[in-house]
A = this chain, B = another copy of it.
Amino acid sequence: MMGKSRLEAFSDGVIAIIITIMVLELRVPGSGSNWQALSPLVPVFLSYVLSFVYLGIYWNNHHHMAHTIGRVTGAMLWANLHLLFWLSLFPAATAWMDTTHFAAVPVGVYGGVLLMAAVAYWILQQIIIRSQGRHSVLGRAIGRDWKGKASPLLYLLAIGLCGRWPRAALGVYAFVALIWLVPDRRIERALASVAD
Chain B residues with Cβ below 8 Å from A89 are: 23, 26
Closest chain B residue, CB of each to CB of A183: B74
Separation in Å of the A196 CB from the closest CB of chain B?
Answer: 11
Separation in Å of the A158 CB from the closest CB of chain B?
Answer: 17
Separation in Å of the A140 CB from the closest CB of chain B?
Answer: 16
Separation in Å of the A38 CB from the closest CB of chain B?
Answer: 7
8 Å CB contact of A8 from B6, B74, B85: B6
Contact A27 B109, CB 8 Å, known A17-B16, A182-B74: no
Closest chain B residue, CB of each to CB of A49: B85
- Check A15 for interface membership: any CB of B closer than 8 A: yes
Chain A: how many interface residues by the 8 Å CB criterion? 63
- Check A117 for interface membership: any CB of B closer than 8 A: no
Contact A14 B10, CB 8 Å, known A95-B27, A195-B1: no
Enumerate chain A interface residues (CB-CB to B < 8 A): 1-2, 6, 8-10, 12-21, 23-24, 26-28, 31-35, 37-38, 49, 52, 56, 59-60, 63-64, 67, 74, 77-78, 81, 84-85, 88-89, 91-92, 95-96, 99-100, 103-106, 109, 181-183, 185, 188, 191-192, 195
9 A-B pairs with the lowest CB-CB distances in the bound complex, closest first:
A33-B103, A13-B16, A33-B100, A74-B183, A26-B92, A17-B20, A56-B81, A14-B16, A10-B12
Instruction: List 26 A-B pairs, Cβ < 8 Å.
Output: A1-B188, A1-B191, A2-B64, A2-B188, A6-B8, A10-B12, A12-B13, A13-B17, A14-B20, A18-B23, A23-B89, A24-B91, A26-B92, A28-B92, A28-B99, A28-B100, A28-B106, A31-B99, A31-B100, A33-B105, A49-B85, A52-B88, A59-B81, A60-B74, A63-B77, A74-B185
